[in-house]
Each structure stands twice: as C-alpha cells, then as structure tokens.
C-alpha cells in the first residue's frame, strides 16, 4: 500500500522548497525515521506537451499492509505531519491518495 500526497503548484516555489525541507524533518522526527534514510520518493513534475502540470510535486511512501498504513495515518504524529503538509501547500490543499502497486 502506498501513501501518495500530490502538492498543487505553489504560489512561491522558493518558499515551498524551504518549507518542504522543514516539513521532511518533521516527518522524520515524528515517524522516527533516521535522517539518513528515505523510505519514500519525491517526484517533481515538469512542464510537458500540455504545459505546466496541475501538480508541482508528489510524495510516495510505501507501507507493508493496509493495516500498517491505517495505523500510521491515525497516529497523532502523522496527524501533525498532515496538518503541516496543509500549512506549506500554498497552492491549495494537497491531494492525498492511497494506492496499491501491482
């Protein structure tokens, strides 16, 4: 199971980048992830044939099971991280999706 967070185009890219750096530190602290480990991927979207994409960036973090993901999402620590994601997303609220790789 994957937790996917899509961030819309920010109002100010430099501020978003700075805020996102702090946001990642919060994620690591709250989820007890050592700073030298990155059990997630971050994809930045580029302009393509149809111009600038709706989303600026995608965060994807895999979990071993739906139960593990649900436990993480319902924890107070992850609720704090989610609130911070909303705070830094100046282009609108991030879209949160749950996906299953095949």
Burial class (CB in 10 A: 0-12, 13-18, 19+), 95: middle
Does the pLDDT value for residue 102 go beyond 90?
A: no
Report the CATH number that the domain containing residue 35 is assigned in CATH.
Answer: 3.30.70.100
Domain that holds residue 69: 2-99
pLDDT at 70: 96
Q: Which of 32, 35, 12 is nearest to 22 (CA)?
A: 35
Q: Which of 3, 20, 4, 5 is nearest to 90 (CA)?
A: 20
Segment 53-85, tens digit of pLDDT: 999 999 999 999 999 999 999 999 999 999 999
Q: What is the number of structural domains in the chain?
A: 1
Partners of 37 in the β-ladder = none
Longest CA span, the chain: 41
Segment 11-34, tens digit of pLDDT: 999 999 999 999 999 999 999 999
How distant, in Å, are the alpha carbons of 4, 22, 23, 84 from that of 72? 13, 20, 17, 16
């Amino acid at each position: 199971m994957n937790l996917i967070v899509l961030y819309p185009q920010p109002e100010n890219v430099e501020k978003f980048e700075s805020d996102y750096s702090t946001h990642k530190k919060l994620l690591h602290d709250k989820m007890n992830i050592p700073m030298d480990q990155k059990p997630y991927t971050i994809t930045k979207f580029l302009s393509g044939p149809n111009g600038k994409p709706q989303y600026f960036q995608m965060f994807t973090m895999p979990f071993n099971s739906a139960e593990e993901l649900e436990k993480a999402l319902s924890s107070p620590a992850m609720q704090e991280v989610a609130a911070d994601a909303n705070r830094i997303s100046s282009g609108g609220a991030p879209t949160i999706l749950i996906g299953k790789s095949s």
